[in-house]
Structures are given as C-alpha cells and as structure tokens.
Structure 1
Amino acid sequence: MTYLFSNDLLNVIGKKTILDLEQIESFLSIKNEILKMGKHKPAVNDFIMINLLDLDKINEIYSQKHLLNEFQLKFLEITSCFRKITE
C-alpha cells in the first residue's frame, strides 16, 4: 500500500479490480490508519523505508518520533552520538 504500482501491473490487474479492492473493509481500515499518521518528512521516510539515517536531519526525525517503532527509537538514540550518515 505504500508503494505505487507500475503501469504494467495496473493494466494486468485492471482498474475495476483496484476500485473493488478499495471498498474492502480491511483495506479501508489500513488506509485510515496510514492517513492518521500524517505525511512523513523525507528524512523520516528514508529512515523507516530504507533504514537510512542522516544525522544532519536528526531534529526532523525526532519531530516525528511517534511514527517510529521501539527498535527504531533505540537505534536513533544510540546512533545520534555519531556525526555521520548511518545505515
């Protein structure tokens, strides 16, 4: 749900199927939970999606720490002691 489908895949699946999927209760529930989280700032998205931590943007990441899980928060605390990009 967080990645865009390619045009080729959309053609195979079909628009009607996707529209039908969007009406399923579990899809709507997950969609609503994602929308409640709000838009991720770029540094936060990089940290969550590709495990890239840019310590120059540590304040940006901490501003959305509510989006991180417990492991990510601990990792952020430990690595914030270093002044380099950490992966």
Structure 2
Amino acid sequence: MLRGGTYYCRAWVPTDVAPTFGGTLVVTSLRTKDLKIAKSRLARKTVELEDQFERVRSERDTAITFRFRSGPRVTFSRWRNGTA
C-alpha cells in the first residue's frame, strides 16, 4: 500500500487471534519510498506478523494447572496486555 509516497504493510489479522491481538487490521509503515526496499521489508514484516499471531495463539492456549495439598485445582493462564 502506498500512502503519500511511503510504502505501508497492510495485513488482516486472523479471526481466531483478533480479539486478543487488538483488532482485525494491522497497518505499519515500511519507512521507505523505494519499491525494491519496500518489497524486502514487506517480506520481513509478513514473517514477523505471522510469528506474532502464533505467539498470541500459543499464549492463549497455554495454561498451567496444579493442585494444592488441600483444596481445589487451580488453573492459571498467561495474560497479555491485560486481556486473556
């Protein structure tokens, strides 16, 4: 995506991670006006975003369960940015 001569990365967030990720669309500047550099940075940014989506999925699905000597079983989930 080109805006004012600067290239941007525009990526849709998968629906399963959108509530945790904070939205359905990510738009970030590639900080260049050169097409060749923008293509390179776009490829790198795409990989970074996919890694972030996978991290959100794994953190969401990670839970630690243990039992105290007496009492109920307790489950802890990892929290990110104040949301589950």
Give TM-score, length-normalised by structure 2: 0.26
- Higher RCO (Cα < 8 Å, 6 or more apart): 1
Which one has the largest radius of gyration?
2
Give TM-score, length-normalised by structure 1: 0.26
Q: Which has the higher helix share?
A: 1
